[in-house]
Amino acid sequence: MILSIVGTSNSGKTTLITKLVPILRERGIKVAVVKRHAHGDFEIDREGKDSWKIYQSGADVLIASPVKLAFIRRVNEDEGNNLDWICSNYLKEYDLILTEGFSKAGKDRIVVVADPDDVEHFTQGKILAVVCDERVDGYRWFVRDDIEGIAEFILSLV
């Protein structure tokens, strides 16, 4: 299942996700998060490190340690913007894929906003719930501190 957490900038999407994931994992759900980085290229490796040098040579690189993996792979714009492609190629083993962002991907979503009027900017997919400290009529509504309630709601979907 793919569930997008979308909302305005600085609305608390990351905070919500980081509070939800431990609860979902405790309940036995294998969770992955796909974070949308809309500003072009990004680096997860430092210039001058061996893996950086290898990537700069033209190879895709998988960095492996006893506790963590990172895969640095070139993608074209269509692949990098295609949530379904990303999930089907890399995240098949997960019970739940949360996205932070990807608001235009059309996936079912929980919208996180500070102002109830901002909800209407995120209707490109089915809005399952809204997280806002002010009541939002017409949607399943949670205040941002109701992490347990939001987690239970997500569990009922999975």
For residue 119, the tally of other CB atoms under 10 A from its CB is: 20
Reading the block at residue 103, the tokens are 């608001």
Per-residue pLDDT tens digits of the chain, which is 158 residues long: 999 999 998 899 999 999 999 999 999 999 999 987 665 556 677 888 888 898 888 888 888 888 888 888 888 888 878 899 989 988 999 999 999 988 889 999 999 999 999 999 999 999 999 999 999 999 999 999 999 999 999 999 98
Domain ranges of the chain: 2-40+75-157
- For domain 2-40+75-157, the CATH class is alpha beta
**pLDDT tens digit string along 106-119?**
999 999 999 999 99
Task: Classify the C-alpha dihedral 46-51-54-60 as positive or negative.
Answer: negative
Note the helical H segments in the chain: 13-26, 50-56, 77-80, 83-90, 147-157
